């Protein structure tokens, strides 16, 4: 199985800050990577697919980049509603696997 | 608008069986691919099964031989039959829709399964 490792595990930042989350895969993914946002008690929400494509309705302050084994999710200007846990997911092979999650907290 | 509504969770003894359902609306099950993804308490997400639009299936090793995914296109219902349940199957179970097989475009709110004596 492909292992997905996210860092950091948690981050605390102020409104307006730039936040970067990284995801590293144990094997090359090309661009077959997605990012999800999950708030407490809710199902995850797809933010970005195929590394850098913004899902419809997702604010443009979210962006993704990377290729192969190293990927990044960036929130350009953190908003209060961005407080959540973020997961990366590889889509090149089964079983589909997710990172362990990064919790973003607003200071 | 796409909506997914899971049901059927509950408390079950080890070795028991449970059938989860997911009611889908706003799209056709015959056109898209559906997965079950679970989340143990305080843990991350684990994909466990997919049923393709054409009916083919795949499973994670952790549930292979114990769980069966199925669907009724005419009733827009997705199912997960879970047998020989173990304590480690305790989780919130989500159904998720994928327009392609790669990503999970839409998710339900989840149904909780607790396996305990």
Q: Render pLDDT for B14-34 as a digit per residue (tens, 0 to 9).
A: 999 999 999 999 999 999 999
- pLDDT value, residue B100: 84
Distance CA(B11)–CA(A99), nearest Å, equals: 28
> Which residues in chain B show pLDDT less than 70?
none
Distance CA(A96)–CA(A98), nearest Å, equals: 7
Distance CA(B79)–CA(B94), nearest Å, equals: 11
Q: Which two tokens stand for residue A8?
A: 């950091």
Distance CA(B96)–CA(B101), nearest Å, equals: 11
Distance CA(B57)–CA(A106), nearest Å, equals: 41
User: Which residue in chain B is spatially nearest to A103 when comparing CA positions?
Assistant: B44
- pLDDT value, residue A107: 95
- pLDDT value, residue A30: 97
Instruction: Note which residues in 11-70 of chain A have CB less than 8 A from chain B.
Output: 32, 34, 36, 38, 41-46, 49-50, 55
Q: Which two tokens stand for residue B78?
A: 């997705």
- Residue A75 — very low, low, confident or very high, per pLDDT cuts 50/70/90? very high
- pLDDT value, residue B101: 80
Distance CA(B75)–CA(A37), nearest Å, equals: 30
- Residue A87 — very low, low, confident or very high, per pLDDT cuts 50/70/90? very high
């Amino acid at each position: 199985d492909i292992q997905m490792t996210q860092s950091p595990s948690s981050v605390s930042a102020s409104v307006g800050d730039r936040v970067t989350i990284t995801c590293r895969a144990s094997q090359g993914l090309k661009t077959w990577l997605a990012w999800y946002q999950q708030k407490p008690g809710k199902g995850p929400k797809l933010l970005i697919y195929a590394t850098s494509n913004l899902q419809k309705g997702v604010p443009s302050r979210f962006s993704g980049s990377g290729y192969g084994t190293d990927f990044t999710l960036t929130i350009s200007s953190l908003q209060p509603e961005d407080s959540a846990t973020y997961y990366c997911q590889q889509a090149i092979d089964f079983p589909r696997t997710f990172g362990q999650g990064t919790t973003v907290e607003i200071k | 608008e796409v909506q997914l509504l899971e049901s059927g969770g509950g408390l079950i003894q080890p070795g028991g069986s449970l059938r989860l359902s997911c009611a889908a609306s706003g799209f056709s099950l015959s056109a898209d691919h559906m997965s079950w993804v679970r989340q143990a308490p305080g843990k991350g997400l684990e994909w466990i099964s997919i049923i393709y639009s054409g009916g083919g299936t795949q499973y994670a090793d952790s549930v292979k031989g114990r769980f069966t995914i199925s669907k009724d296109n005419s009733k827009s219902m997705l199912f997960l039959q879970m047998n020989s349940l173990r304590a480690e199957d305790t989780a919130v179970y989500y159904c998720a829709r994928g327009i392609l097989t790669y990503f999970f475009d839409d998710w339900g709110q989840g149904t909780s399964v607790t396996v305990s004596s």
